[in-house]
């Protein structure tokens, strides 16, 4: 069983690749309005795929795992996609699963193209191509079982709660803006996993004070009308789908 959560498609791509090889149920967390119950076959592996978020995982996936029920689980493999560095993301998810009485997971880090344009530049198309090709090789090794699992060291594990606490602050929606190029297509509202966006007078309006900060709305807007604070306006947009079409 493969359960994934993805904003800009990196983790979705990983989940699809796993599914090609291992088959079984492929479950998108965004297709659930509420947490759910999952029953595994005897000796079936549970794969969890999600993106790194301030050295942890995002609120949406964390809450989904916390509140869902997982039965007959004997082995868990977690793949966390990230833009550069996982920090103590392995420790974060390990604790989440152990607290639920689930087995200790094997965790892999997979560096892909970052989507966190609030803090970082999105790489150029040439750099994206190199990253995508390298990530494919690492993913093949994960699937074949020849990739080394990721283990953060003691110091990084101590620092992780502090770094992840910054995520809570970044979840505010007040810095979102929409400019005059908006064509009122409603895609941002449709894509938002937490229903934080409503359309008012044909323009998006962030109705929740906090969201998942996944940046799905910002990166999927077809006319790049959405920004967050001052930094994203001058940066590229990114989705795995458009990147793979352009660079592969
Ligand atoms: C709120 C947020 C926080 C992030 N924090 C980190 C981070 O701490 N380290 C990192 O390497 N990448 C970070 N990223 C980048 C994503 O983990 C990375 O781009 C991931 O592959 C996106 O996966 P997706 O396309 O499946 O959504 C962050 C992205 C977001 C939206
Ligand atoms: S996705 Fe972009 S163009 Fe479409 S409604 Fe939202 S802001 Fe406007
Ligand atoms: S408002 Fe945008 S960033 Fe926030 S959860 Fe919805 S899609 Fe993600």
Residue nearest atom 2 of ligand 2, based on CA coordinates: 221
Write down the pLDDT at residue 246. Answer: 87
Please provide the CATH number assigned to the domain covering 2-168.
3.40.50
Q: 129-151: b or e for each residue (b if 16 or more CB lie within 10 Å)?
A: bebbeebbebbeebbeeebeebe
Where would I find the beta strands (DSSP E) of 141-188?
Answer: 176-178
Give yes or no for residue 247 having a pLDDT over 90: no
Please work out whether the CB of residue 183 comes within 6 Å of at least one atom of ligand 2: yes
Average pLDDT over residues 205-232: 98
Determine how β-strand 56-57 pairs with β-strand 2-4: unpaired
| DSSP bridge pairs for 206 | 197
Ligand 3 centroid–CA 23 distance in Å is: 30
- Model confidence, pTM: 0.98
The dihedrals phi and psi of 55, each to the nearest 5 degrees, come to 65, 15
Average pLDDT over residues 225-232: 97
Assess contact for 83 and 51: CB atoms under 8 A: no
Q: Among the bound ligands, name the one nearest to the CA of residue 212.
A: 3
What's the pLDDT tens digit per position in 71-118? 999 999 999 999 999 999 999 999 999 999 999 999 999 999 999 999
Please provide the CATH number assigned to the domain covering 171-247.
3.30.70.20
Ligand 1 centroid–CA 41 distance in Å is: 32
Ligand 2 pocket test: pick from 221, 222, 227, 232 the residue with the most ligand atoms within 8 Å of its Cβ: 221
Average pLDDT over residues 43-48: 98
In the chain, list all ranges with CATH 3.40.50. 2-168
Ligand 2 centroid–CA 30 distance in Å is: 20
Write down the pLDDT at residue 234. Answer: 95
Residue nearest atom 1 of ligand 2, based on CA coordinates: 221
What's the pLDDT tens digit per position in 148-162? 999 999 999 999 999
In the chain, list all ranges with CATH 3.30.70.20. 171-247
The rounded mean pLDDT for the chain is 97
Give yes or no for residue 248 having a pLDDT over 90: no
Instruction: List pocket residues of ligand 3, CB cut-off 6 Å.
Output: 191-194, 196-197, 211-217
Q: Which atom of ligand 1 is nearest to the CA of 49?
A: 26
Average pLDDT over residues 182-196: 97
Confidence category of residue 131, pLDDT binned at 50, 70, 90: very high
């Amino acid at each position: 069983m493969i359960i994934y959560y993805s904003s800009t498609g990196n983790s979705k791509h990983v989940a699809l690749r796993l599914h090609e090889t291992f088959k079984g149920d492929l479950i998108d967390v965004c297709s659930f309005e509420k947490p759910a119950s999952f029953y595994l076959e005897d000796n079936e592996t549970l794969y969890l795929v999600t993106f790194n978020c301030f050295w942890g995982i995002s609120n949406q996936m964390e809450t989904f795992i916390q509140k869902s029920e997982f039965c007959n689980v004997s082995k868990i493999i977690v793949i966390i996609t990230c833009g550069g560095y996982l920090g103590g993301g392995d420790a974060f998810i390990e604790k989440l699963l152990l607290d639920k009485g689930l087995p200790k997971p094997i965790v892999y880090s997979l560096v892909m193209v970052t989507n966190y344009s609030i803090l970082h530049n999105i790489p150029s198309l040439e750099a994206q191509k190199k990253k995508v090709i390298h990530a494919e090789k690492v993913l093949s090794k994960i699937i074949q079982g020849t990739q080394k699992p990721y283990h953060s060291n003691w110091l990084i594990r101590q620092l992780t709660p502090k770094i992840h606490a910054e995520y809570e602050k970044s979840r505010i929606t007040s810095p979102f803006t929409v400019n005059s190029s908006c064509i009122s297509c409603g895609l941002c509202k449709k894509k938002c996993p937490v229903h934080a966006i409503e359309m008012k007078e044909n323009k998006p309006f962030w109705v929740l004070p906090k969201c998942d900060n996944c940046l799905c709305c910002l990166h999927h807007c077809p006319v790049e009308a959405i920004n967050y604070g001052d930094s994203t306006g001058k940066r590229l947009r990114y989705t795995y789908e458009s990147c793979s079409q352009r660079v592969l």
